[in-house]
Chain A
Amino acid sequence: MKNFSHLLIKEIKELVNKQLVISLVFMLFIFNFIGNVTKSEIKKAMAKQKIAVLDLDKSEISKNIIGALNMANFIIEEKSGEKEQVVKELRSSGLDLLVVIPAGFGQEVSNFRPGEVETYSYLKGISMTGSRKSEIVKALLQTTNEFLSNEYLKKKLPDLDPKLLKAPIKSREFVVVRDRMAEGSTSAVIGSLYAQSFILPVILMMIIMYSSQMVITAIAMEKQNKTLETLLTVPISRTAVVMAKMLAAGIVGLLSAAIYMYGFRNAFSFNTGDIAKAMSGVAPILKQLGLTITTQGYALFGISLFLTILVALSLATILGVLAEDYRTAQSLTVPLVFLVLVPYFVSLFADINTMSLPAKILVLAIPFSHPFFAVQNIMFGHLNMLWLGIVYNFLFVVVMLYWTTKIFSTDRVLTMKLKWGKRKVVL
């Protein structure tokens, strides 16, 4: 035990090297940079925007529209003169949206003929702010339309409710999950679940990839530096040697993933405010539907994740033994990364439960898949699939660990070879 912890500390020290620290710092820096750019872009979009308005009508109604634009957080710069002139003039100014209300607009509208409002957007690059502005103006005109149409209806049919006239059907929406039911919007429920869990696959992917890479590197470096032979002759069991490497990689992998996530959340923290706002309305509905994760649920997810990390570590250990040097080790992580990317993309863009059976089997045969779908399975009560995954991964781990320690306690740890380029495999 003393020797084990001694070895473990050395393994951790070896893994936490300059490269790791630099790559983590670099990542945090990139996240921070992207986060700041996005934040300032959003701030720009949220701040009062300046738009130009050319009112050639000067009627009561056109004044109302300008007033409404003002209320909608726009700073209005009123223009005057010929329309063509103003359109041309704005090309070289900082303004990028012009609303033109033509002469006779109020007259037309009052006489129940369609009045036209023109908007001119000046594209000066691809930015979200520009398109947002014209969206807001559009929405505003939509509301004005609504208002005017209600006025017409009231005038023509004074004893009828214009709301009823425009929407004779009233709808109520219910969401049903298994034996539970709640009144609420489906899209809001899904949206909120998605917002809560969109980050999870990213974390999972990173934990698995980081830890595997660590252990492969640890073993390959031991070979490249020609220290493995010496290490295997010191008075410590082979199982302890393997376990120390795997545990160290697991610890450092988890830590790196945690730091990575911390940086990610920090940089994109504006999201949480929006999510919280959106959540507050939906939360009681989720609770009513049983779409929350209980302590037991978390425990199950934890088990699934833990087993998956073990699978990744033991697989990576074997790959590490195959690698002769650091570079081969790096290329050996490619198949692992591919195996993680499959469930990653499936969980983002598809529903595992509605996939065809062969496709489903193929995805679930990858041991890494299971934690990706665990949360969904817990929430929607597909506990069979969850347990199946846990049992499958458990068996996988047992077999892999047995095989790994076997390799380490026989000649093969020294004689197994795989050199890229020469494409020579000796097992």
Chain B
Amino acid sequence: MAVVLEVEGLKKKYGSLEALKGISFKVEEGEIFGLIGPNGAGKTTTLRIIATLLTPSDGKVTFLGFDLKKHPEKFREKISYLPEEAGAYRNMKGIDYLNFMAKFYAKDEAEVREFVERAKRICGLGERLKDKVGTYSKGMTRKLLLARALMTKPALAILDEPTSGLDVINSLEVREMIKGFTREGVSVLLSSHNMLEVEFLSDRVALIDRGEILDSGTPQGLKEKYQASNLEIVFRSAVQ
């Protein structure tokens, strides 16, 4: 399988704090790769670097053969990033927001319509798309943002805690949605501290703690290796 994203020896310092101490992993085409780890492990930092928001202190990131330092614009063209805590313009209607974002990625009007149509299907907000974003609940906003991240069919979708703030039913829906999308050729890199969610979603996972990757592999493989019934127990054993 072709490698979409390759991260090698990534380091990041915030002043004297070493948030990432040299992490490496690969995301292959059409797979869902999950970063799991506790609060402050460095998940968001890793994803922000790949999304061109932060500059790494050291290490190399390659996406579709392009180097992050030399071609950040290539990353922005083909990567969609859903931040951990994100909002949309409160004064815009949901549908206008989708239109606004689609125009940055589409090459013509027809493609804008295609993107927006897809987003409508993904978010399932229906008539509420005609209301201003300011009137949406947290879950509705999250779905809108997820739809906008997936509507362009990016080569890689980076989703930082995609289900944060969603209730059980909505989380389930969103997970199904993400899973469905990879079947259409989109690769996904996501983070979560909900191990069960990651276990359900991911083809492969990396366990991250205090800026280091402890172990990685398929959920099944890891469970067998640590002789555990779920990833939570795997994680506890890996930390020790």
Contacts and interface: CB of A to CB of B under 8 A. Distances in A.
A233 B53 contact: yes
Contact of A234 (B48, B54, B85, B101): B101
A225 interface: yes
B79 to A, nearest CB: 7
A226 B91 contact: no
Contacts of A225: 87-90
A402 B145 CA distance: 33
Interface string B60-104: 000000000000010011011101011111110000000011011
A111 interface: no
B238 to A, nearest CB: 30
A80 interface: no
Interface residues of B, number: 27
B77 A226 contact: no
Nearest to A229: B83
B76 A227 contact: no
A226 B101 contact: no
Contact of A233 (B81, B88, B90): B81
B52 interface: yes
Contact of B76 (A226, A234, A415): A234
B73 A237 contact: yes
Interface in A201-242: 225-227, 229-230, 232-237
B83 A226 contact: yes
A226 B90 CA distance: 10
With a 10 A CB-CB cut-off, give which of B14, B90, B91, B104 has the most chain A CB atoms.
B104
A411 B57 CA distance: 11
Nearest to A232: B53
A415 B14 contact: yes
Contacts of B55: 410-411
B172 to A, nearest CB: 25
With a 10 A CB-CB cut-off, give which of A230, A234, A414 has the most chain B CB atoms.
A230
Contacts of A6: 100, 103-104
Contact of B91 (A17, A230, A233, A237): A17
Contact of B81 (A3, A226, A229): A229
A183 interface: no
Interface of B: 14, 48, 51-55, 73, 76-77, 79-81, 83, 85-91, 100-101, 103-105, 145
16 contacts: A6-B103, A10-B89, A13-B91, A14-B89, A14-B91, A226-B87, A227-B87, A227-B88, A229-B83, A230-B86, A233-B51, A233-B53, A233-B81, A234-B101, A235-B77, A235-B105
Given A225-B88, A414-B53, 4 more contacts: A10-B100, A14-B91, A233-B76, A233-B80
